Amino acid sequence: MSALSIDRIHITGASGSGQSTLGAALAERFGYHHLDADDYYWIPTEPRFTTPREVEERRRLLGADLNAHPRWVLSGSLVSWGDPFIPRFELVVFLYLPHDIRVVRLRERELARCGAKALAPGARLHQHYVEFMPWAEKYDTAGDEQRSLQVHNRWLAALRCPVVRLEGDLTIEERLARIEDFIARR
Reported as a single tens digit per residue, the pLDDT across 61-70 is 999 999 999 9
3 pLDDT band, cuts 50/70/90, is: confident
User: 78-87, 120-129, 154-163: which has the minimum mean pLDDT?
Assistant: 120-129
Entry pTM: 0.93
Please determine, for residue 128, whether its predicted confidence score (pLDDT) is greater than 50: yes
Reported as a single tens digit per residue, the pLDDT across 135-182 is 999 999 999 999 999 999 999 999 999 999 999 999 999 999 999 999
CA distances from 5 to 73, 180, 184, 185 (A): 13, 9, 8, 11
Q: 11, 12, 15: which is closest to 107 by C-alpha? A: 15
**What is the CATH class of 8-98+148-185?**
alpha beta
What is the reported pLDDT for 83? 96
Reported as a single tens digit per residue, the pLDDT across 29-44 is 999 999 999 999 999 9
1 pLDDT band, cuts 50/70/90, is: very low
Q: 133, 118, 31: which is closest to 73 by C-alpha? A: 31
What is the reported pLDDT for 6? 96
160 CB-contact burial (10 Å; exposed 0-12 / middle 13-18 / buried 19+): exposed
Choice between 57 and 185, residue whose per-residue pLDDT is larger: 57
CA distances from 122 to 50, 83, 94, 131 (A): 17, 39, 37, 14
Q: What is the DSSP letter of 85?
A: G
Helix (H, G, I), strand (E, B) or coil at 8: strand
Q: What is the mean pLDDT of residues 123-134?
A: 90
- Angle, nearest 10°, between helix axes 99-114 and 126-137? 160
Q: Is residue 149 within 8 Å of 14, Cβ to Cβ? A: yes
2 pLDDT band, cuts 50/70/90, is: low
Helix (H, G, I), strand (E, B) or coil at 96: strand
Q: Rounded to an integer, what is the distance from CA 152 to the centroid of its chain?
A: 12
Q: What is the DSSP letter of 52?
A: B
The rounded percent of the chain whose pLDDT value lies above 70 is: 99
